[in-house]
Amino acid sequence: MTDARRLAYLEALGVDVYVRRSLPQAPAATVSVPAIERPVATPTPIPTPMPPRPLAPEAALDWEALRAAVSVCTRCALSETRTQTVFGVGSPGARWMFIGEAPGAEEDKRGEPFVGRAGQLLTAMLKAVGLRREDVYIANVLKCRPPGNRDPRAEEAAHCRGYLERQIELVAPALVIAVGRIAAQNLLATDAPLARLRGRVHALGPRAWPLVVTYHPAYLLRSPGEKRKAWQDLLFARQVSGRIERGEPVLP
């Protein structure tokens, strides 16, 4: 029976029913506490480490791997017109390293630097100071022949720079000889004329390889009267090399 029906029956019977009413409860006192403003902590920034400078892909290659990389290089458009790449030739541990500007037609055919008439003259110049081709290392700024034997373009030299730098590292020569104005200006990042670059020792690259400058044999074939100056350059190179072997400083 529900409470409502039970109450109705009792009321009908004359029975007074008292229902205890619950007193309303006073609402709980609310204590207002002023909010305490706390400074917002600024997160300490975590320094982001600078990523290491990536090494050039060729920077860790040995001779065989470097030669293979050069042989299939397609970094610039010269790969579309070459017969083959021209890597370098000579002793991998040479004390003197000769660097020319770019292969010519004969070098493009044979895959070896300085093998035409200019190369024959260079061989004769080496003999004059008591050296053979196999005693030195010979390379070029470019590994592919520019069409028409034009001068190397800056972007072409930039694409080949890593290959040449690795060759220099592997040879670790006591002395570098820049052969011709184009090679000298590319290696030293200068537009100074050859006359101002000759007769002094330059520092090449971060390792400060000692470098001297001479004429390109192809120029000497066109201007045989300048051969005397080239001979002076070779004598100067030999003098510098001797000072290096004796442990004497050659750079300012």
Total number of domains in the chain: 1
**Predicted pLDDT of residue 203:** 98
Q: Quote the CA–CA distance of 26 and 43 in Å, as a whole number.
A: 46
Residue 31 lies in a domain: no
Q: DSSP assignment, residue 211? A: E
Cβ 137 vs Cβ 172: under 8 Å: no
Residues 6+ apart with CB under 8 A from 58: 66, 69, 162, 163, 166
Residue 24 lies in a domain: no
Residue 27 lies in a domain: no
- Give the structural domain span for 80: 63-244
What's the N-to-C CA distance of the chain in angstroms?
118
Residue 56 lies in a domain: no
Q: Quote the CA–CA distance of 247 and 66 in Å, as a whole number.
A: 31
CATH code, 130: 3.40.470.10
**Predicted pLDDT of residue 57:** 82
Q: What is the pLDDT along the chain (252 residues), one digit of tens a residue?
A: 555 555 554 454 444 554 454 444 555 444 454 554 555 555 544 444 434 444 568 899 999 999 999 999 999 999 999 999 999 999 999 999 999 999 999 999 999 999 989 999 999 999 999 999 999 999 999 999 999 999 999 999 999 999 999 999 999 999 999 999 999 999 999 999 999 999 999 999 999 999 999 999 999 999 999 999 999 999 999 999 999 999 999 998
Cβ 69 vs Cβ 163: under 8 Å: yes
Cβ neighbour number for residue 176 with a 10 Å cutoff: 24
Residue 193 lies in a domain: yes
Residue 33 lies in a domain: no
Residue 100 lies in a domain: yes
Residue 81 lies in a domain: yes
